[in-house]
Structure formats: C-alpha cells, structure tokens
Amino acid sequence: MNRQQILAEADRCVKCGLCLPHCPTYRITRDEGDSPRGRIALMQAWIGAAVESPRVHWHLDRCLGCQACESACPSGVKYGQMIDSVRAQQPHWLSLWRRWCLMLLSRLPYYRSSRMLLRIYHNIGLRSLLQRAGGDWLRRLNQLLPNLEESPSLHSHYPAVPPLNGSVALFTGCVGRIADLPALLASIRLLTLLGFAVEVPEQQTCCGALHQHNGWPDTARQLAATNRRIFDALEVDAILYTASGCGIQLLEYAKYGQSLSTPVMDICSFLADSGQLDRLHLAPLKQKVLLHHPCSSRRIADGGNSVVRLLRRIPDIQLRSLPREGCCGAAGNYLLLQPAMADRLRQTIIEQIEPEMPEILATTNTGCALHLSAGLSLTHPAIRVIHPVQLLSQQLNGNLDRLECDGQNSCPDGID
C-alpha cells in the first residue's frame, strides 16, 4: 500500500472498538495507543504529518501483527497490510543492526555447517559463558536456542514406502531447519510410511514473513519469487509446511504476484485428510497433552481442527486445548525486539497451562515453541514442548502392514 491507499483503508475503520477485546497488547496495557483502532489513528496522524512524536512508532512497534483484530472487524479493515505498509514507509525504522539480524536469521540455517557450529558453541561452554557474562540481548537469545542433538541431515529426496500414493514437497523454513528439525524428520517419516514420496529442495529459502512484517517488502518479494521458481519446478501434489507462521506467508504469496502453482497445506491437515492413517499402528499414550493454537494457525482454513483429529488417533491420550485466543508473544522476531511485552504475553499463556499441568505441550509454530519452552523451563521444566507430528511419530508401534526400507533416505528418524 502507498500512503493514499493506507489512508483510504484507515478511513474504513469506524473506531467501533469491537476489536479491543481481541488485541493481546491492549488487553494487557489498556492503552488506546496499543489497540488496533488507536494504532490506525496514529498511522493516519503520522502519514498526514499531524504528529511526529517518537511515541507513535513506540506504539506501532508493539503491535504483534497477529491480526486477531481483522477477524473481529465488521468492516473487514485490512489492518495487517496497513501496519506492514507503514513500517515500509519509515526508512529509518529498520536499522542496520535489525537488517543484519534478519539476514542472519533467514540465511544462516540453510548452511549445512550451521547445526554443527551451534553444537560446538554449546559443547565448548561458550553458551554458558555468554549466558552469565553477555548482555541482556545475548542472554535472551541463548535461552531461546534449542539443545541440538545429533540427528540426520535433510536429504533432497525420500522415496515412499510402497504402495505409492503421491508425491509432496516439504517447506522447511529458515529457523525451522535448526530449531524444528525433529518435526521435519517426523513429517518425512510419517509421509513416506503412508506412501508419499517427499522432495526437500535444497535451493528453497526463507518464506519472507520476517522481512514483510519488518518493513522490508522488496526482500520478502524476492524471497517469494525464489521459492515460487524452486517449488513450481517440482512435479508434486502439494507443498507442505510444519510451521504455521511460514504457512500463512506462503499462502499469501498471491499478494505479491508470486502464487505457487501447487496447493500449499499444513502438514497436520494433509495427514488428517490423506485417507491413509489407518496404516499407522500407534502405541497408547497415557499422558496429558495440552494443545496450543498459535495465532497463525487460527488464520488457516480449518483453524487447527485437523491437529485435534490427528492426535485423537493416539490411544489413551488425554488431549485438551488451550483457549483459541491471546498470543504467546513470539510473533516472528518480536520476542527479541520487544522482550518485556513478549514475556508478559507469554506469562498469560503459562498461567493457562499451569492449571492443566500437562506432561506435553504441543504447538505447530516454531517461534511459539521456542518462546514457550524458554518460559516453561524456568518454572515447569518437566513439560515437553513439541510439534504434534513428533508426538504421532513417537507413538508408532512396530511395523506397518508393509514396511520396506531400502536405505537411509527411505527411513528417516531411525526406522529400521
């Protein structure tokens, strides 16, 4: 959106306030500047040069971009596009430091050496040293880093266990390649066992969500174009993602004129609708599992219901869901840029978790998993935070009706 388009869209907001109860930051601060209608008024004032106070950007920066307000808006105001466009209109909003961090977060995970370097960083004690002696930002980043265990690297192709039911491509995401590799391997394991060949193109890149929501739309568009070229060249039935935040960005490529020619689906939705799940022999799980619904998952077609259908196939599981409202405060790189507000938002979710006291917390977004795991480690370290497909893969009991492995590429995650 250009300035005139932003103003035109802002004029569609009648300031009715129906969005207020749905805005996570407003629910905490009760400050109109932290509400959707308040931020829209600030955007109008800034674009119209009626106000130049740094306080304007302070309130806008505290927006999570969860877009819960859009679902509640009777006028259908496109708040998400407005806030992204305003950030792109601020040439000094994205500092060189932030640009460098975005580049690092979105590129480093694709290097094969990244996981090895992070393991070395942990094993030689540097992580512990910086946790004690580093600044607040480094300490926070340290808390978010997962403990990286030895695990297989991703291959570009995984053959299906016969009979063949189709072929899919897997979008790995940038941070997901490091922080969510177990979920990616679990997805490959389940898909191949159910008869789907899996392609994991090495040339794929970051989805662009971090750049789009941080005022760097040209880079987001370039990343979308790269992914479109890579995935459109594959002959597959669907493109699957494990992180709901990445998935929403992929689904919105049409806004940048980069629509993917193959259907984009959440891994849980694809598995639940595959018609092949009866082939899986799942061991009983006599544990309490609490399901967290990320903000991004509420914006996909089934709102995360497929995750419930999927996990209920595990015998004896005690499955409960957290309320489908509020935000954990992860929101891409928000948890690093707005640590105080991110932690306050996370605490509201932890307070919802505590009465249930589950053994396992399942969530479908990488950032949410990292943020919630870091918070729970301080008070409830026994609670495991994992992706739903990991739980399903974990409960595989014995062999399938036909289980034939012909090499490591066919048998990810230790199938033998």
**Residue % of the chain over a pLDDT of 90:** 62
pLDDT tens figures, 380-399? 999 999 999 999 999 996 54
Start-to-end Cα distance in the chain: 53
pLDDT tens figures, 33-42? 999 999 999 9
Lowest mean pLDDT among 67-81, 296-310, 389-403: 389-403
Confidence at 302, pLDDT banded by 50, 70, 90: confident
Lowest mean pLDDT among 17-26, 109-118, 166-175: 109-118
CATH topology for the 157-275+400-414 domain: Rossmann fold (3.40.50)
Sheet holding 238-241, edge to edge: 157-158, 196-199, 166-171, 238-241, 264-266
Torsion 170-173-174-176 (CA) sign: negative
Confidence at 409, pLDDT banded by 50, 70, 90: very low
**pLDDT score for 113:** 65
* Higher-pLDDT residue of 90, 88: 88
Judged against a pLDDT cut of 50, whether residue 90 lies above it is answered with: yes
The mean pLDDT value for 48-67 works out to 84
CATH topology for the 281-394 domain: Rossmann fold (3.40.50)
- Residue spans of the domains in the chain: they are 3-88, 96-144, 157-275+400-414, 281-394
User: Is 377:401 a contact under the CB 8 Å cutoff?
Assistant: no
Please state, in angstroms and rounded to a whole number, the distance separating the CA atoms of residues 1 and 80: 11
What global pTM score does this model have?
Answer: 0.88
Please state, in angstroms and rounded to a whole number, the distance separating the CA atoms of residues 153 and 217: 31
Lowest mean pLDDT among 123-132, 173-182, 283-292: 123-132
Residues contacting 252, CB < 8 A, separation 6+: none
CATH topology for the 3-88 domain: Fumarate Reductase Iron-sulfur Protein; Chain B, domain 2 (1.10.1060)
Buried b (16+ CB within 10 A) or exposed e, 45-82: ebbeeeeeeeebbebbebbbbbbbbbeebeeebbbbbb
**pLDDT score for 13:** 95
**pLDDT score for 416:** 33
Count how many Cα atoms sit within 13 Å of the Cα of residue 194 in the half-sphere of its side chain. 26
Please state, in angstroms and rounded to a whole number, the distance separating the CA atoms of residues 216 and 236: 31
User: Is 170:104 a contact under the CB 8 Å cutoff?
Assistant: no
CA distances from 47 to 13, 36, 79, 95 (A): 16, 16, 15, 20
